[in-house]
Amino acid sequence: MLLTVDIGNTNIKAINLPKTITYIGVSAFESCTTIEKIIIPIAVTTLREYAFRHCKNLTIYCEIDKAPKGWTSSYWNVYPARPVVWSYIEE
Protein backbone atom coordinates (compact mmCIF):
# COMPACT_ATOMS: atom_id res chain seq x y z
CA MET A 1 0.00 0.00 0.00
CA LEU A 2 1.28 3.45 -0.92
CA LEU A 3 1.04 6.71 0.95
CA THR A 4 1.65 9.64 -1.37
CA VAL A 5 -1.00 12.11 -0.28
CA ASP A 6 -0.11 15.58 0.98
CA ILE A 7 -2.53 16.20 3.85
CA GLY A 8 -1.45 19.80 4.23
CA ASN A 9 -1.69 21.79 7.42
CA THR A 10 -4.55 20.27 9.40
CA ASN A 11 -5.41 19.96 13.09
CA ILE A 12 -4.21 16.35 13.23
CA LYS A 13 -1.93 15.75 16.26
CA ALA A 14 -1.02 12.06 15.84
CA ILE A 15 -0.92 9.56 13.00
CA ASN A 16 -0.70 5.79 13.38
CA LEU A 17 -0.19 4.47 9.86
CA PRO A 18 -1.79 1.16 8.91
CA LYS A 19 0.51 -1.88 9.12
CA THR A 20 0.00 -2.38 5.36
CA ILE A 21 1.72 0.89 4.33
CA THR A 22 4.99 0.19 2.50
CA TYR A 23 5.73 3.51 0.76
CA ILE A 24 5.63 7.12 1.94
CA GLY A 25 5.98 9.58 -0.93
CA VAL A 26 7.89 12.81 -1.46
CA SER A 27 6.70 15.58 0.88
CA ALA A 28 3.82 13.40 2.14
CA PHE A 29 3.48 15.29 5.43
CA GLU A 30 5.29 18.48 4.47
CA SER A 31 4.24 21.56 6.46
CA CYS A 32 1.86 19.64 8.72
CA THR A 33 2.85 21.80 11.65
CA THR A 34 0.29 20.43 14.12
CA ILE A 35 1.44 16.81 13.93
CA GLU A 36 3.29 15.83 17.10
CA LYS A 37 3.59 12.06 16.63
CA ILE A 38 3.68 9.63 13.72
CA ILE A 39 4.15 5.88 14.03
CA ILE A 40 5.82 4.31 11.00
CA PRO A 41 5.18 0.56 10.72
CA ILE A 42 7.96 -1.92 10.07
CA ALA A 43 6.48 -2.63 6.61
CA VAL A 44 7.55 0.80 5.28
CA THR A 45 10.47 -0.01 3.00
CA THR A 46 10.47 3.25 1.03
CA LEU A 47 10.35 6.69 2.59
CA ARG A 48 11.01 9.49 0.12
CA GLU A 49 12.72 12.81 0.55
CA TYR A 50 11.22 15.70 2.50
CA ALA A 51 8.45 13.52 3.91
CA PHE A 52 8.42 15.52 7.16
CA ARG A 53 9.84 18.87 6.02
CA HIS A 54 8.60 21.79 8.13
CA CYS A 55 6.86 19.52 10.65
CA LYS A 56 8.29 21.52 13.51
CA ASN A 57 6.43 19.77 16.36
CA LEU A 58 6.88 16.17 15.15
CA THR A 59 8.54 13.20 16.81
CA ILE A 60 8.87 10.18 14.50
CA TYR A 61 8.33 6.71 16.01
CA CYS A 62 9.63 3.82 13.87
CA GLU A 63 8.91 0.17 14.56
CA ILE A 64 12.13 -0.78 12.76
CA ASP A 65 15.51 -0.42 14.46
CA LYS A 66 17.19 1.71 11.75
CA ALA A 67 16.43 3.30 8.40
CA PRO A 68 16.19 0.69 5.60
CA LYS A 69 18.13 1.19 2.35
CA GLY A 70 14.91 2.27 0.60
CA TRP A 71 14.60 5.36 2.76
CA THR A 72 16.05 8.16 0.63
CA SER A 73 19.41 8.63 2.40
CA SER A 74 19.11 11.32 5.04
CA TYR A 75 16.70 13.50 3.07
CA TRP A 76 13.53 11.97 4.50
CA ASN A 77 14.09 13.81 7.80
CA VAL A 78 15.30 17.35 7.07
CA TYR A 79 14.30 21.02 7.42
CA PRO A 80 14.42 20.72 10.36
CA ALA A 81 15.52 17.21 11.35
CA ARG A 82 12.99 15.74 13.77
CA PRO A 83 13.64 13.39 16.70
CA VAL A 84 13.35 9.71 15.79
CA VAL A 85 12.56 6.86 18.21
CA TRP A 86 13.79 3.59 16.70
CA SER A 87 12.46 0.10 17.67
CA TYR A 88 9.22 1.66 18.90
CA ILE A 89 6.61 -0.71 20.30
CA GLU A 90 3.17 0.79 20.82
CA GLU A 91 1.74 0.12 24.25
Amino acid at 67: A
Ranges in the chain, pLDDT < 70: 1-10, 72-73
pTM of the model: 0.86
The pLDDT assigned to 7 comes to 58
The pLDDT assigned to 76 comes to 85
Q: Is the dihedral of CA 71, 72, 76, 81 positive or negative?
A: positive
Give the integer Cα–Cα distance in Å for 45 and 71. Answer: 7
